[in-house]
Structure 1
Amino acid sequence: MIWNWQQPDWPYFSYDKSLLDESEKQFLLGSGLVFGAFKHLNEGDKQQLTVELISNEALKTSEIEGEYLDRDSLQSSIRRQFGLITDNRKIPPAEQGIAEMMVDVYRDFESPLSHTMLFEWHKMLTNGRRDLADIGQYRTHAEPMQIVSGAIYAPKVHFEAPPSAQMMPEMERFIDWFNATASNGKTPLPALLRAAIAHLYFVSIHPFEDGNGRIGRALAEKALSQCLGQPTLIAISYTIERDKKTYYSALEQANKQTEITAWRLYFADTVINAQSYTSTWIDFLIKKAKLYDRLRGQINPRQEKVLTRMFREGPDGFIGGLSAEKYIGITGAPRVTVTRDLQDLVGKGALLRHGERKHTRYFLNLE
């Protein structure tokens, strides 16, 4: 098998430019709408949105690689780094590391890419690991770096990266390309095109012993933020994780050639869908503010506690809706009080009721 890095024109990627313009326009228009809506949030909701989306990305970029982390620990770590009120829980190393990396990507998006930055990200990402020989540096092992699946006796090789001995010259060239193609660089590229190439180019080199996918997706986020001039808060990993089979299939095809039109189209669709998810969150928080304004002075502490808990679940809400049992669990109130509270919230238009008797469930009324 001949891989993309073995092609004579590597690392110069080609693509059909006529198929790219429309998605770039759609992305820029969507970005303007997202940033415009974001300005209408109050400071508390801006903080909530930032923490929610960064923690969700940290969670999902790890799940893509088969690592499942604790959401509450991630959010606590992120809030702490932003200087926000949080609990004093002990954060496990994996959650602490990925949270630090994601916050660094958010805060320091303008800085040029460097070996030092990548090494620091890798140290954060591998926080607590004892199974890796090379932490905070490019891989040095002599054996081939391969992505494989299947049984040990009959493995399927999905990709083989350049030998470890080539890492420094390959990464020198990658970093030069990344910085030159920024909006203030020598050869700027459109946002979606640059992000798509950055991710593919980086994971094709696969410079680290582990963590390449997560760092590659962080680089795509950095590329988009640099092109827009501010952090994007786009849920790329959330969108990829929902259909990671297609993601891996698109990567596998792109790893075999330097013509990347199909990969570029896939990645553009992914980013635009991710942007839509961010818009959904902003719309959700704006409706939340309006609901609280309408209910101000009309609900008791129990009802406020339950609504706050429901809003924490985000636009998707509680799976299956709020039941009387969940209300009791949140407030500790007796059932007769819970029944009265829920009826009152429905009457005030805060909740919508569905079902009857033991099947009754309640949902936020945001319309």
Structure 2
Amino acid sequence: MDSSQRLAVTMPSDSGGSTGPDRAAAEIDRYESVTAPDGAGPAAAFCNPFRGGSPEVLLLSRRSGNITQLMHLSPRDGGRRPWICQVVMDLPAMPAELVTTSYQGTVQAYWTGRHGRLWRSLLTPDGFSTPVALRWALDTQALQTTYFLPQNGGPAEPVLYGITPGRTHSGVRLWIRTLHGHTGHFDLPDLAPGNRLQLSMTGRTSWVIDTAQNGFLRRWDGHVDGSVNEAVTYAMAGVQAMFVFGTCDPVRLQFPQPMFVANDGLAYLWNPRMGPLPCTTARMRVAQAVAARGVGGDSVVYLSGLDGRLSVARQFSWEDLDPHWGGSRVITRDLGQRSYRLASIDHPVQPAAVFAVGLDDVTRFMPRASTRQKSPSVFWAPWDRAETPLSEVDFAGHGPSAAA
């Protein structure tokens, strides 16, 4: 049974069950979440293989005048200032997107520049290399990454994807590029520009895309080398979906379950048997929601609340299609969330860490390692906090300026 067939099930609802949108619910009680804080530019976290897997961060910061700097911030041993910064590139404008990928010790950064041009830079022992522009993804308006986990236990394979304008006056065009050079382009004529998409790989070249539209969840499925099937609308019950921020993947089942923030401000996942379910015990109104993969491929969710809390929860087991979640652990209660953007390590075999990037400072949160555990538990271990103002980092090296 494919994913489209699984989704076309009758789900319980307040009116006794429905398989599609309730057209009468045209007016949605919209929840204004702070998903893109004013002033805080995009950021992307990664583990540096040249520094023993140290969690580090790339960020975009507005400096003097109209110049935006792409900055690589990393900790260092000793010295009066514990953080060091490499300016990778000066940019004439703030890019809309910034992501990193990691594969067998190779870390690459991608970002969108002026006119939707896509840029790439490779991490070396001396920092990030001189960026190069890529011609195969012009006019990219949205840029994200995900990972494919081979069933044979091979290394996780990064997948890059983005959105460009549609070839007609409506809709958008999705492109997907895999590690092995497969690139597919797909027209999504009924998807409005600006909708947040979440790609999940159900095979090395097969995929599903989830998004929220008009309070409902929708899914497309397709193949990198083929076409895309018509969208399926998820049956909802009691809540309206505002945006999708990740997926929860059952082990050995090619059926990612989308996670989303609803109009009540809480985080949910959509389960094919039970409909919308809370995906964390943190009952707080969400300012930002970030999904990552833990060691072994389990889902990890970071939530920041409008009250300043930052919490983490981990999905730790499955029973058929039903996920079991651990309790939610509060990492800090004083994040001051409206001025920060979250960036987490999302590689499935790298240690957990999340950065809170603000206008003038960066804070890294990591679970504390112990002598008993090689990989500390995101829930049971205490989380260490390392905060630094950008004015107090040492600058070591400056990359080129570019009309990006």
TM-score of the aligned structures, taking structure 2 as reference length: 0.30
More strand by share: 2
TM-score of the aligned structures, taking structure 1 as reference length: 0.32
Larger Rg: 1
